[in-house]
Amino acid sequence: MKIHDNILGTIGNTPIVKINRLAPAHVNLFVKIESFNPMSSVKDRLALGIIEDAEKSGALKPGQTVIEATSGNTGIGLAMVCAQKGYPLVVTMAESFSIERRKLMRFLGASVVLTPAPLKGSGMVQKAKELAAEHGWFLTRQFENESNADMHSRTTAPEILEAFADTQLDYWVTGYGTGGTLKGVSRVFREKSPTTRVIVSEPELAGLLTGGIEQKRHEDGSPAESHPSFNPHPVQGWTPDFIPKLTGDAIDSGGADQVLTVAAPRAMECSRNLAQQEGIFVGISAGATLATGLEIAETADEGSNILCMLPDTGERYLSTPLFENIEAEMSAEEQAFSASTPACQFE
């Protein structure tokens, strides 16, 4: 057992697990469970990569405040990294995202500035830029920062290739939030595993890529206005109301073979199925990725190997529709169980 110098050494090397009860018999379906990162999401990777690259370049000065716009997981990852390294952190987040995420970031010492829900992801990004400019804070720019994608090229992609070194990975399925995972992994696959088909999944209500990638961008490549194909959706962490630069780069360079949409109810169904039939506890976006993997499996050749990315833990969604039918009190059936035997007697 390795002893780590600090918590940051535990980021990455997340497990790949075979799906047994939910997978069709004619394929091999696997998942990469990113909730095994220390703050329980894939965004721990980008948080460490961006901060350490900024330290090396001198863009981030000792004691300087860090700021980022986030739906939650990036902010939580950054809060962990900044706490360990001693940087104050401010995050901006649309008020529509789950309360659990706000509390986790504040518990880790970050300040959370909420932006109006109607302004969507663009609103929280703009607020972060304004605060960074006003106070001289370091803006991590997760949606366009190449260090985000580079971290996945250095860690996530090699982990996958090593796991499938003795066999062929036929399909790799991922969603996108910033596009860092998509860009960073797909470019490595194009070089070292060119027969692997990259499948991108996005919410049915926010088909930004299936609705057309053409969109105005600022001169620096950062996203401009809200994309016309966007509608609010419950797959938190996936698909903001603009096409992030990293996502656009991946699509423009041929980094995706196919883009599929998934309905939110199906995503939540798959998340619950993972918990109740495979014992894998993950969030809505993970359910959406699995749903897409199952769709691919329907027409995949016999013996195909399919790997789905599962971005985070189900604990981020306790106040969301994912848990709407999960009660804290005993059900009638549970009360019947309780009443069927005498209460324990203690001497």
Catalytic residue of the set 32, 40, 43, 147: 43
User: Are the CB atoms for 293 and 306 separated by under 8 Å?
Assistant: yes
Residues 68-107 as b/e (b if ≥16 CB within 10 A, e otherwise) read bbbbbbbbbbbbbbbeebebebbbbbbebbbebbbebbee
According to DSSP, the β-strands at 28-33 and 16-19 are antiparallel
CB-count burial class (<10 Å; 0-12, 13-18, 19+) for 295: middle
Plot region of 27 (φ>0 → left; ψ -120 to 50 → alpha; else → beta): beta
Residue found by looking up tokens 């599929």 in the block: 260
Look up residue 220 and give its amino acid.
D
What DSSP state is assigned to residue 317?
A: G
Locate 148 and state its tokens.
Answer: 């985000």
Tokens of 141: 């720019």
Q: What is the C-alpha separation between 244 and 199, in angstroms, rounded?
A: 17
Residues 15/310, Cβ–Cβ less than 8 Å? no
Burial 324-335 (b: 16+ CB within 10 A, else e): eeeeeeeeeeee
Q: What angle do CA 309, 40, 315 make, to 5 degrees?
A: 100
- 3-state secondary structure (DSSP) of residue 19: strand
**166/287 Cα distance (integer angstroms):** 28
- Is residue 285 flagged as an active site residue? yes
Token pair listed for 245: 């630069």
Catalytic, out of 186, 201, 285, 304: 285
What residues are annotated to the active site?
43, 285
